[in-house]
Every structure is written in structure tokens, then in C-alpha cells.
């Protein structure tokens, strides 16, 4: 099971958050991708023959997945394709600031909640249509991943 909730900075917490996904489908079906980057500066002429590396502690984590509305989030059912497109066109206005992403994972033996802090929505794509259940590809970019809630 995967539940994603986005709470913008300045909100009153998770109760005011936007639930983006609440599904029991497999993570492989959601095409979940994770990318971790760390800014490391090199100085090849510093000291000995070996290059010196300076870890600037700037962490960037990117999480992307494909959510099918009407399947992964049943309360977002649409009356017709036009209603689905209106919903899609209004999505970017919901992510105008940074915030935190709450990632709740529950598997056979795993039960963990993680938080992607200083998170921004990098991209939202309307990937494809399956009747009245369009698929949205969300890409989130943030800083540290924490086990402590920011709220």
C-alpha cells in the first residue's frame, strides 16, 4: 500500500494536505523511480597527487511515479473525459510553493512513514488515458528524507 500526501509550507499540517495517491497496487505498477544526488566539489590540485573531495552536504532526492486517478485514488472519479482534463489543467495551481511529501508504505512486513522535506513538484504530466481514469506522472524534488514529521 502507498499513500502520498503533499502539505505546502505554511499549511496547518497533514490534515490540510493534498492526498495524491492511496493505493494497494504494486509499486512496480506505479513505475516508482528514485534518484539521489549529492553536490560534491573536487579540487584536483589541492595537496597530494590524489584529488580532494569536499562534500557540501547538499542533498537532492527525486521521486517520481505514475498515479492513475480513479484506480489509485478512488475519490477522484470523473463524470466524463472533459472533467478529467479540467482536473489535470488545475493540478499545477495546487503546487505553487515548496512543502513536505508524506510517504506511507505498508507491505507484507514493511510499515514505514517517510517524509521528503523541502519538496517541490518538478513536473506533472498527463501520461495517458484509460477511459475515465487518466494517469498522472508526478515528479517531486526535495532535500533530506526523514523519519520525523515536519509538523
| Tens-digit pLDDT profile for residues 25-74 | 888 889 999 999 877 666 666 555 555 656 556 789 999 999 888 777 76
pTM for the full model? 0.83
In a domain, 48, yes or no: no
In a domain, 52, yes or no: no
Range with the poorest average pLDDT among 95-99, 101-105, 112-116, 131-135? 131-135
| Residue 1: partners with Cβ closer than 8 Å, 6 or more residues away | 23, 24, 104, 105, 106, 107
Give the per-residue pLDDT at 62.
95
In a domain, 93, yes or no: yes
Give the per-residue pLDDT at 12.
87
Give the per-residue pLDDT at 53.
59
Q: Helix/strand/coil (H, E, C) string of the chain?
A: CEEEEEEECCCCCHHHCEEEEEECCCCCCCCCEEEEEEEEEEECCCCCCCCEEEEEEEEEEEEEEEEEECCCEHHHCCCCHHHHHHHHHHHHHHCCCCEEEEEEEECCCCEEEEEEEEEEEEEEEEEECCCCCCEEEEEEEECCEECCCCC
Task: State the total domains in the chain.
Answer: 1
In a domain, 12, yes or no: yes
Rounded Cα distance, 5 and 17, in Å: 6
Whether 11 has a pLDDT exceeding 70, the answer reads yes
In a domain, 124, yes or no: yes
Give the per-residue pLDDT at 120.
94
Find the CATH number of the domain harbouring 27: 2.30.110
Give the per-residue pLDDT at 130.
79
* Mean pLDDT of the region 109-127: 93
Task: Note whether 141 and 122 are within 8 A (CB).
Answer: yes
Whether 139 has a pLDDT exceeding 90, the answer reads yes
**Phi/psi of residue 15, nearest 5 degrees:** -65, -25
In a domain, 44, yes or no: no
Q: What residue numbers bound the domain in which 26 lies?
A: 2-39+57-146
In a domain, 131, yes or no: yes
In a domain, 47, yes or no: no
Amino acid at each position: 500500500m502507498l499513500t502520498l500526501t503533499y502539505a505546502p509550507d505554511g499549511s496547518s499540517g497533514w490534515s490540510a494536505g493534498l492526498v495524491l495517491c492511496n493505493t494497494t497496487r504494486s509499486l512496480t505498477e506505479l513505475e516508482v523511480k528514485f534518484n539521489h544526488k549529492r553536490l560534491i566539489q573536487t579540487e584536483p590540485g589541492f595537496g597530494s597527487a590524489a584529488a580532494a573531495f569536499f562534500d557540501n552536504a547538499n542533498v537532492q532526492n527525486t521521486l517520481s511515479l505514475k498515479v492513475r486517478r480513479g484506480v489509485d485514488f478512488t475519490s477522484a472519479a470523473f463524470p466524463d473525459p472533459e472533467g478529467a482534463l479540467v482536473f489535470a489543467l488545475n493540478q499545477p495551481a495546487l503546487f505553487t510553493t515548496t512543502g513536505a511529501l508524506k510517504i506511507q508504505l505498508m507491505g507484507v512486513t514493511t510499515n514505514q512513514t517517510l517524509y521528503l522535506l523541502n519538496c517541490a513538484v518538478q513536473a506533472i504530466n498527463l501520461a495517458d488515458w484509460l477511459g475515465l481514469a487518466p494517469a498522472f506522472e508526478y515528479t517531486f524534488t526535495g532535500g533530506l528524507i526523514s523519519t520525523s514529521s515536519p509538523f
